[in-house]
Structure 1
């Protein structure tokens, strides 16, 4: 295998699994919204999946370090394949109610979490095996995630429009199975390492201790957690409700997601190519400012559709720079011995508010109306994106550290 081989395999598995997940994040809320017409219930379903996801991700880190990131990713993808298939089976059998859907999506969240964390934990090994710069690896994988979002969103819109949300979920289930197969067949067998015999609780505590002592990582976690809450509100409730109220269908919803993700691919590709030469803090700050407020403001002010499409494109392009920068900083600072547990904790904490994004937006839309919900959410996003300017710990992002192997 060439030195780029492992990176290509991981990128392919990421595109397949994340693309499938993106499909379900559109299909399930659309299924609830079109069958109930209730934005609060739509947000509640998002909460039911993401809250267990966050908890499971936080707890999966020691297992990834013990069992290996490749093995955990494959196992989780296979189990996720069966979990996702439960929803359409219940729908077709006439048994699907909100009270059965909630535990079903919770199971999906629990099983998907270790897979996502394990794929991310594979990044340092992939970079080392090919002697590749970390920002190039994270940029390519960031572009892969955005490509997955584009394909998943476009595919979701088309599939839901033509065959309905329940059949579309079968495609999602199949994607998890293919992802597991790609990793199993494509990644080389990992080198045997000396097992860490510390108790599970001690391993988890070690990850927490390391994370809490690193001020840069703590600052990043807090900022991204809040913006993720608002992004989830945007994706799960605000945008679907706007699309439906404006008279568009699921195909147009998929187009909006695909436009954002497609532009993000370009941004991540640029980050992969020249990221090492860019000023990290400046790019991070400007990219977040362009990603957040404009995307909410165009809907709050009810601007023309062409302006909305242009703004979403610009915001998507800027967002492509964010994950490569964040991931490179993270892997530079985390010792390889505890990569799994710290990466899982960071992933969990940055998503800790995300389960409440849909519920927050649903309640806000019901109580204050859609226009005010857009305006308030955009204003909050803007305030949060000023943090790199106001908080001193962000300034240490400027330094590039050697990849940690301690």
Structure 2
């Protein structure tokens, strides 16, 4: 992404739920019940907080690396190449990491991912301040640091439904909280990163980044309950084992290849998953060209540097967080597909057009704010749809594969953005992004399998048959 069914929320026909939330047992509330509820909510809050802290570290990296490359006298193409090395690992870590997450345990996978990412980030400033950090070494460390990012995020997302159910929270609300934590991370991380890079330089700011991963790992280890991997081949797999231990000698355990093929088969055969991956792959390519390469170059060339970039990214993150919170109150009442189209179109087109037209900074901030408000609704919709349509025992693999597919265009987009800046110029490049982004995000209005986005069928079960 164990959750409540949105169709039951709308119709109110399930006696086991009240207003879309899991029903509490009838009768008096004992002290033990109150303590359990409090513990469950602390666990859910800790998972969301750990996700936010880890994502804050990623934002600092996204600021520090481009300005380090520019400080070495690098070109736009080299900035794009560094961004490509930061995102390419997701294509590898997504599908393979999803299988590992399902096997080794979600909590353990999240902790290890944070520790490895933190160690690779810490190596950058240590090398730069001692023996030196050449461009090739930077690329290698950025690649290693990103290799476990996707498995770590997948692990936290897969843990979300069970914690949500035990805490008595509507699944659409908790998915929105997790996405909101990412938006909050961009708001805080961009502000911190912009100030740090401007004040102490990109190298020193990476020490803060390494610390965020350590804090995230400690928070997950201390407050998020352990859970084991789903048992492949069991009739009713559940991720509620008391430890993260996995019995490697278990006779019913399938091979890694079989697990990966099973997840891939589900994604390929599900008509809505295919459409979602294709659409988000295209928009992510455009976002990578714009956000990872064109925007830092534009800020460095025309807006005065990292401080202006921090303002724009913080505006995007803050407004996306506000949009996310507001959407959480109406998510179960609005039509998903039409809301998705309207918000997706506004999230990319207007702000890119403003940069293409060379608008002054206040106009750029206003256009970015509009994009952020609209973007706040996108991931909650997509996350809830994926949770509803994916069987529980396949979620790690399916989410990893979907993430890898959606991110497949990001390395190319980051690199193409740098090449475009060096050849056709920033203005034309932003104009192309605006036109293509607006065109492709209108695709769900064509209907067909896109209608499957609306609420139907039990969560975590087999997807309903397509309605044409």
Shorter-chain TM band:
over 0.9
- Would you say the 8 A contact 2:150–2:403 is kept in 1? no
Deviations 1:273-310 (CA, angstroms, capped at 9, x unpaired): 22111110111000011001101100111123222111
**Aligned counterpart for 1:320 among listed residues 376, 390, 403:** 376
Cα distance, 1:344 vs. partner?
A: 0.8
| 1:197-346 equivalence runs, <5 A | 197-346=253-402
**Structure 1 position 394, deviation (Å):** 0.9
Contact 1:263–1:316 (Cα < 8 Å) also in 2:
yes
Q: Report what 1:124 is aligned to.
A: 161
Q: Is the CA contact (8 Å cut-off) linking 2:90 and 2:403 kept in structure 1?
A: no
2:191 maps to 1:154: yes
- d(CA) in 2 for partners of 1:91 and 1:201? 40
Give me the whole-angstrom Cα distance separating, in 2, the residues matched to 1:131 and 1:293: 38
Q: Matched residues in 2 for 1:189 and 1:17: separation? A: 19
Structure possessing the higher relative contact order (Cα contacts under 8 Å, 6 or more residues apart): 1
Where does 1:140-219 land on structure 2 (aligned, <5 Å)?
A: 140-190=177-227, 191-192=240-241, 197-219=253-275
CA contact (8 A) 2:348 2:371 kept: yes
Secondary structure (helix, strand or coil) at the match of 2:169 reads coil
1:135–1:271 contact (8 Å) kept in structure 2 = no
Unaligned 5+ runs, structure 1? none
Q: Give yes or no for the alignment of 1:78 onto 2:120.
A: no
**Deviates most, 273-282 or 314-323:** 273-282
Residue 135 (1) aligns with residue 160 (2): no
- Work out whether residues 14 and 119 of structure 1, in 8 Å CA contact, stay in contact via their aligned partners in 2: yes
Conservation of the 8 A alpha-carbon contact between 1:53 and 1:106: no
Tell me which residue corresponds to 1:109: 146
TM-score under structure 1 length normalisation: 0.97
Deviation sequence 1:180-207 (CA, Å, 0-9, x none): 1101111123231897601110000000
Residue 112 of structure 1, CA deviation: 2.1
In structure 2, the gaps of 5 or more residues are 1-35, 228-239, 463-468
Out of 9, 32, 35, which is 2:72 matched to? 35
- The answer to whether the Cα contact below 8 Å between 1:138 and 1:272 also exists between their aligned partners in 2 is no
- CA apart distance, 1:337: 0.9
Relative to the length of structure 2, the TM-score reads 0.84
Aligned length: 406
Instruction: Please say which of residues 205-214 and 49-58 is displaced more in the overlay.
Output: 49-58
Give the drift of 1:115: 1.1
105-114 or 148-157, larger mean C-alpha shift: 105-114
Report what 2:42 is aligned to. 5
Larger radius of gyration: 2
Deviations 1:49-73 (A, max 9, x none): 2112321121111111111111100
**Which deviates further from its counterpart, 39-48 or 51-60?**
51-60
Check the 8 A contact 1:55/1:348 in 2, yes or no.
yes
The reply on whether 1:370 has 2:426 as its aligned counterpart is: yes
Question: How far does residue 94 in structure 1 lie from its aligned partner after superposition?
Answer: 4.2
- Name the structure where helix makes up a greater proportion of residues: 1
Separation in 2 of the partners of 1:401 and 1:71?
A: 32
Q: Is the 8 A contact 1:233 1:361 kept in 2?
A: yes
Distance (whole Å) between structure 2 residues aligned to residue 94 and residue 381 of structure 1: 44
1:87 alignment partner, one of 86, 102, 124 = 124
Over the aligned positions, Cα root-mean-square deviation in angstroms equals: 1.5
CA offset at residue 6 of structure 1? 2.4
